């Protein structure tokens, strides 16, 4: 998750820093006022924003009474199960609220460290105060998307889950039939019900009745998943063909879809997951996808640990998939020539490593394409009839 670059906490005046540890049953707050330095902890019922606002106002009033000046509240909590609704609610009430990237927080490296909600809240508070005072190594902050952009991601993410569920049902049917010596049945082909009745086991028998009924129930679930996949794809295509006024990113989806090898699904994933954001340079966008190399150098030991995998997993997976598609559908592009010149006819592990490097270069090229209109060198655009 990319790091917010500007400091929001005032350099002078009274500030109440609040860290919030969220759980379903309880919310634990750790608060410290600056410059007075008073530290306090508080516990609320989970999911009680009104109680949280009332407590924050009391903390603010206490500091105002002590110092006689306006007091700002800066609150932070970890990104996770609760999403972004609380940040939006607090921001609407005039409270500065930040969502912290959990993976960026520094923890004790001892094998068995103490962990309680109180200790976690204190750790969040220290990281929040350090970040607001300019220590960018303390943690990273998540860029909270708008409600419209967050909702726009639902369609392709649901499709990803449905595809995984489809694979599970298909594999289950194939596995059940394999126990009977049947290896060539394809559940996704049409006429699966009729073909099921014609199957014979490896020793020439009809399918056992209970096994047949179990497979039929798998068919019913599989067909429901296929129906939902079709509905999600229709919703995705309609969002591109008939965009709503609130959709500020659909033009980027259309622009990406004009490149050979990139369909509506991949274009939607790339734009909705990453390319709607603003990045300062190519290193930031590569890091957001987790495609940057992780070097190890200590004393006389040096080695390459591969990519960091610290970014958006769906974006990274899609870019690696697109790298292979790019070699197939854009063989005349400069990036494809770079890959061929570097790898040649080598197969196996080295070819896969080079494909990941190609994915990183391709992501940077597509980012420049949607932001500046610069077509990747040698890339082929689809004809109007496609």
Q: The domain spanning residue 75 has which CATH number?
A: 3.30.420
Same domain, 102 and 174: no
Task: Provide, rounded to the nearest whole percent, the portion of the chain with pLDDT above 90.
Answer: 71
pLDDT of residue 2: 44
Indicate the residue among 144, 177, 207 that finishes a domain.
144
Q: Please report, to the nearest 10 degrees, the dihedral formed by the alpha carbons of residues 205, 210, 211, 213 taken in order.
A: 110
Whether residue 149 has pLDDT greater than 50: yes
- Please report whether residue 271 resides in a domain: yes
- Please report whether residue 382 resides in a domain: no
Same domain, 21 and 140: yes
Instruction: For residue range 42-91, list pLDDT tens digits in order.
Output: 999 999 999 999 999 998 888 887 777 788 999 999 999 999 999 999 99
Whether residue 4 has pLDDT greater than 70: no
Whether residue 236 has pLDDT greater than 70: yes
Task: Yes or no: say if 319 and 289 are a contact pair by the CB < 8 Å rule.
Answer: yes
- Please report whether residue 9 resides in a domain: no
- Please report whether residue 1 resides in a domain: no
pLDDT of residue 254: 93
Same domain, 81 and 159: no
**Which has the higher per-residue pLDDT, 199 or 34?**
199
- Please report whether residue 5 resides in a domain: no
Task: Yes or no: say if 225 and 169 are a contact pair by the CB < 8 Å rule.
Answer: yes
What the block records as the tokens of 31 is 């608060």
Same domain, 181 and 264: no
Indicate the pLDDT class of residue 386, thresholds 50, 70 and 90.
very low
What the block records as the tokens of 211 is 């096994």
Query: Cα(first)–Cα(last) distance of the chain, in Å?
Result: 36
Whether residue 126 has pLDDT greater than 80: yes
Instruction: For residue range 38-55, list pLDDT tens digits in order.
Output: 788 999 999 999 999 999
Indicate the residue among 222, 241, 260 that finishes a domain.
241
Whether residue 269 has pLDDT greater than 70: yes
pLDDT of residue 7: 44
Whether residue 92 has pLDDT greater than 80: yes
Whether residue 144 has pLDDT greater than 70: yes
Same domain, 85 and 122: yes
pLDDT (mean) for 22-47: 87
- Please report whether residue 3 resides in a domain: no
Nearest to 329 by CA among 238, 249, 266, 243: 266
Residue 19 Cα to chain centre, angstroms: 24
Same domain, 136 and 200: no
SS (H, E, C) 92-149: HCCCEEEEECHHHCCCCCCCCCCCCHHHHHHHHHHHHHHHHCCCCCCCCECCCCCHHH
* Lowest mean pLDDT across 29-38, 171-180, 182-191: 29-38
- Please report whether residue 74 resides in a domain: yes
Same domain, 82 and 178: no
Same domain, 254 and 216: no
Backbone angle region of 186, left / alpha / beta, with phi > 0 → left and psi within -120 to 50 → alpha:
beta
pLDDT of residue 13: 64
Indicate the pLDDT class of residue 9, thresholds 50, 70 and 90.
very low
Whether residue 211 has pLDDT greater than 70: yes
pLDDT of residue 180: 95
Indicate the residue among 192, 213, 241 that finishes a domain.
241
pLDDT (mean) for 127-131: 93
Same domain, 130 and 201: no
Whether residue 119 has pLDDT greater than 50: yes
pLDDT of residue 187: 96
Residue 170 Cα to chain centre, angstroms: 27
Q: Detail the DSSP E strand segments found in the chain.
A: 14-22, 26-34, 39-45, 71-78, 96-100, 293-298, 301-307
pLDDT (mean) for 352-365: 95
pLDDT (mean) for 198-202: 93
- Please report whether residue 348 resides in a domain: yes
Residue 24, classed as helix, strand or coil, is coil
Please give the tally of structural domains in the chain. Answer: 3
Whether residue 110 has pLDDT greater than 50: yes
Indicate the pLDDT class of residue 206, thresholds 50, 70 and 90.
very high
Provide the residue range defining the domain that includes 224. Answer: 151-241
pLDDT of residue 298: 82
Same domain, 27 and 129: yes
Same domain, 230 and 261: no
Same domain, 184 and 286: no
* Lowest mean pLDDT across 254-258, 308-312, 338-342: 308-312
């Amino acid at each position: 998750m990319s790091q917010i670059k500007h400091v929001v906490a005032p350099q002078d005046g009274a500030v109440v820093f609040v860290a919030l540890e969220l759980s379903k049953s309880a919310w634990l707050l750790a608060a410290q006022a600056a410059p007075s330095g008073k530290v306090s902890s508080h516990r609320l019922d989970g999911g009680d924003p009104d109680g949280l606002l009332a407590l924050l106002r009391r903390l603010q009033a206490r500091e105002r009474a002590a110092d006689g000046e306006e007091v700002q509240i800066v609150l932070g909590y970890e990104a996770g199960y609760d999403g972004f609704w609380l940040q939006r609610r607090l921001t609407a009430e005039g409270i500065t609220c930040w969502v912290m990237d959990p993976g960026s927080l520094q923890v004790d490296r001892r094998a068995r460290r103490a962990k309680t909600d109180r200790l976690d809240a204190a750790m969040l508070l220290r990281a929040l105060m350090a970040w607001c005072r300019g220590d960018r190594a303390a943690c990273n902050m998540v860029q909270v998307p708008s409600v419209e952009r967050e909702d726009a991601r639902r369609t392709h993410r649901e499709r990803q889950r449905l595809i995984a569920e489809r694979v599970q049902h298909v594999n289950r049917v194939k596995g059940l039939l394999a126990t009977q010596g049947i290896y060539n049945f394809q559940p996704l082909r049409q006429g699966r019900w009729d073909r099921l009745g014609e199957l014979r086991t490896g020793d020439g028998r009809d399918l056992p009745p209970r096994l047949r009924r179990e497979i039929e129930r798998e068919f019913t679930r599989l067909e429901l998943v296929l129906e939902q996949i079709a509905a999600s794809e229709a919703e995705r295509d309609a969002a591109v063909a008939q965009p709503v006024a609130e959709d500020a990113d659909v033009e980027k989806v259309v622009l990406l879809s004009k490149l050979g090898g990139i369909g509506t699904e991949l274009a939607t994933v790339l734009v909705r997951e990453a390319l709607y954001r603003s990045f300062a340079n190519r290193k930031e966008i590569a890091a957001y996808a987790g495609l940057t190399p992780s070097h190890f150098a200590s004393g006389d030991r040096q080695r390459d640990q591969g990519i960091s995998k610290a970014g958006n997993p769906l974006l990274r997976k899609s870019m690696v998939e697109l790298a292979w598609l790019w070699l197939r559908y854009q063989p005349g592009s400069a990036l494809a020539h770079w890959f061929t010149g570097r790898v040649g006819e080598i197969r196996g592990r080295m070819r896969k490593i080079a494909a990941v490097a190609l994915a990183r270069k391709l992501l940077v090229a597509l980012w420049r394409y949607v932001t500046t209109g610069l077509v990747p060198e040698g890339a082929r655009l689809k004809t109007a009839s496609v």
